[in-house]
Homo-oligomer: A and B are copies of this chain.
Amino acid sequence: MNKSPAWIWYPGDFEIYHHLLLNTRREEREYQWPAFWRLDDCYHNVRFRKQVHCDIPEEMTVYAHGTGHVWVDGKKHAFLQPINLSSGNHEIVICVARTDGLPCIYADGNQSASNSSWEANDYSFEWLPAGCSGLYPNKEDDPNIFAFQYEEMKPVSVKKREDGILYDYGKETFAALMFEHVQAPKDIRIFYGESIDEALDTEHSILIDAVPAGSEKYYCPPRAFRYLFIQGAGTEQYALTALYEYLQLNRRGSFSCSDERINRIWKTAEYTFRLNSREFYLDGIKRDRWVWSGDAYQSYLINNYLYFDADITKRTIVALRGKDPIVTHINTILDYSFYWIISIHAYYQATKDIDFIAFIYPRMKSMMDYCISLTDQDGFIRGREGDWVFIDWAEMDKTGAVCAEQMLLAESLKAAWACGELLGVGEMCYLERYNGLKKQITELYWDDERGAYIDSFESGQRSITRHANIFALLWGYADAEQRESIIMNVLTNDAVPKISTPYFKFYELEVMCNIGRLEDVTKQIQGYWGGMLELEATTFWEEYDPAVAGLDRYGMYGDRYGKSLCHAWGASPIYLLGRYYLGVYPTAAGYDSFVVEPQLGGLEWIKGSVPVNGGTVFVELKQEALDVVSDKDGGLVRINGQEYPLLKDIPFRLSLK
């Protein structure tokens, strides 16, 4: 057991508290725009306990963010004062309250050191393992402040213009501006831009600020931008430092190939994803800077091929769930509750982290039960007035019970049952519902004549879109015959409206990979993501339509610069290239066994690395040979219909001549 002390808190509350902070930071010119869903908060009055055994006497000093006291063997002590613990057993209870933030403590001692071996309690009957994070190992730390790092950034150009000064930092970034020694006669005005157009359009740029005249030191909150336009002062009238704010992340995945454009795409995707990987997986760093469950689900998958950072994934899952009682769907979106449930089992498949399953399962079960409580007598779920039935920004018949939602519900039931089973408390009723629902989905939504799943049956429209059919292929809602039918009648049928969002393109391209159309996927990556690079994107956008030109490229949601130009879901090539080109994926939880099944997808050569839960697999595939090496056991190389065991640290080489 790790004996070094760390800050501890009520489990899940660190995440929920920072989620609250994050979701209230969105700005739009003169006002802020808090998220439009319920934001929960940490508990403000908690206690921690441990039965400590000291082999030799030791001194314990308790630090706290909050007020309270320490009980040792029934006697109260103050924080900050050393407490002598004699050798033997001690019952230690630490009570701490903080009304304006996260109450947390740090017990500096040896056997008495605070860490996740302590238990935490919210004054209910339940004691849980205390929350803890590697981010806060020092007594000087404060978990109320997220442990970002900062690095000074220099602009690549500073240009004086008639009406102000334009800074270009060379690429999209997220930074806090620090102004010092301001000698301007009046307030300095700052206009941020992800694009040069936005920075210069002082009437419409979304992020703005004003530095008070005469400030000796003024910090702007960190914001997303590439360009700054500054009015009201000459460069000699202030000192400006831009501090890049970031989370330290270890890149574990890599990719390169014979196509330089794809290599640039991968790198740009990586940078896009890095900027959005912070307290949680954000949707975009300018807008909304909120956490959306459906977006985050894709980020979890991308993460598995890039950082394999279990911590952000767990933080995001915990934050999205919030606390009881559940009063709406996650992000108000029906489908987003389901992605949340599904993501937990997916997380387990990647990490085999049973401790997290044990922690989250009660919250998962209550979320599942909430969804079940909203099903109708037929077992289908329908959106209530006020529920957002999203699926995608696409025309779709959303009357009553929508097919794609039922598939998500069914997958959720399966995931919730499976997670319960891992803990020995699997709910048979979930499994039964899953089986029944799956059958009913086929009965009611499968259109034999048209050979595809229809959107909804209640309106009588029987319209077909790609969405439910993509899910059907991804999750096994189609037998062999139906698969072929869907591929022919939907996926490769130009008469069915195209997927227009990168969000759903994630699933479409995954299905394309699944059905062996990698060369088409290669072309789409080259075209769609390559198209953004041609427009000098330094990060990938929320949405991109090659047909739109000029300023219109930046607009969305009725706002001239409403589009986010650094959007996490734009990073999906990382997932696709790792999962289907390098071809690495788990076949047992935690990559206890995994497959390496590389494919060129029309490229001349590919190479790269994929993290596999504590290990890394290196893959290099050329026309003439395949090289694979893994520092983890359990691998199986599959190529050209053959399978080869992959032994730890033993390079595998196969000539393909």
Contact = CB atoms under 8 A, between A and B. Distances in A.
A38 B123 contact: yes
Given A81-B30, A124-B328, A324-B324, A97 B45 contact: no
A36 interface: yes
Interface string A23-62: 1100011111111111101011100000000000000000
Contact of A328 (B33, B123, B332): B123
A558 to B, nearest CB: 11
8 contacts: A20-B45, A21-B99, A37-B45, A38-B122, A38-B123, A39-B123, A123-B332, A125-B328
Task: List the 5 closest pairs (A to B, CB-CB), nearest first.
Answer: A124-B327, A34-B97, A32-B67, A100-B100, A30-B78
A570 interface: no
A336 to B, nearest CB: 14
Nearest to A79: B31
A560 to B, nearest CB: 15
Interface in A95-142: 95-101, 122-126
A77 B30 CA distance: 8
**Main SS of chain A's interface residues?**
loop
A34 B96 contact: yes
A125 B41 contact: no
Contacts of A590: none
A498 to B, nearest CB: 31
A304 to B, nearest CB: 32
A81 B30 CA distance: 10
Contact of A99 (B20, B36, B44, B95): B20
A386 interface: yes
Interface in A56-84: 67-69, 76-79, 81
A324 B96 CA distance: 22
A414 to B, nearest CB: 27
Contact of A78 (B31, B39, B41, B81): B31
Given A29-B78, A33-B95, 7 more contacts: A20-B99, A24-B97, A34-B45, A37-B123, A39-B43, A100-B101, A325-B325
A24 B67 contact: yes
B81 A32 contact: no
A24 B99 contact: yes
Contacts of A161: none
Given A31-B78, A76-B31, A44 B67 contact: no
